[in-house]
Amino acid sequence: MMGNLEAQVSLGMCMIKGEGVEKDVDVGLDLLKKASARGSGEAHFCLYEAYSQGKWTDVDLAKAKEHLEGAATLEEPTGMCLYAEELLDRDEDLVKAINLLEKSLRYNCRQARRIYIRALIKRNQEGDKEMILSLLRRWVELRDGEAMYELARHVDNPKEALGLFHRALAMGVDKALPKLAEAYEKGLGTEVNQEQARLYRVRWSHLSC
């Protein structure tokens, strides 16, 4: 049964994109709608992307919300992650958001890492700070640039933070640039170096344009 659903979603996406079959967006969307009605979280998530971003059809935020919730309910990993983020944005049901993120993490959804840290900060229970540091250190070992950046913001040692910001930048996390500029301007974890700070500011300004 699940294999048939996966095949239906796959065929729907192929028809939408015209990959290997004649392109027919309407038929493809119809296949996704039927698959979502039969319990496919993946189909719900594809429809969420379609309606939220105007992919292949007109933007319809009400339908997008409906399908994102459907994807989360059916435990589609990225759907759970993004629905949890929406709950956090709206200050709604923190317990549910954390539960969804923990499930998403069990599916190794990398995107859920950053949002889970945000949820733990928001919850702020005893032991959460230690948990945050432990999780971030584990993800840093997995060469996660975002985790390096977040850990740098949470550690108390300026020298360790500086090293983590450098590592994050090397992994392509450009938002580390203003943090590095600040460190060299103020001598946080290093000697003051205004020229180095200026270079980081210039790089960041070019990216921000």
Give domain limits for the chain.
Answer: 1-72, 75-124
Give yes or no for a contact between 165 and 180, defined as CB atoms under 8 angstroms apart.
yes
Report phi then psi at 155, rounded to 5: -75, 155
Residues 6+ apart with CB under 8 A from 191: none
Going residue by residue through the chain, which has 209 residues, state the pLDDT in tens, using 9 for 90 and above. Answer: 455 888 999 998 999 999 989 899 999 999 999 999 999 999 999 999 999 998 889 999 999 999 999 999 999 999 999 999 999 999 999 999 999 999 999 999 999 999 999 999 999 999 999 999 999 999 999 999 999 999 999 999 999 999 999 999 999 999 999 999 999 999 999 999 999 999 999 999 999 76
Total-model pTM: 0.85
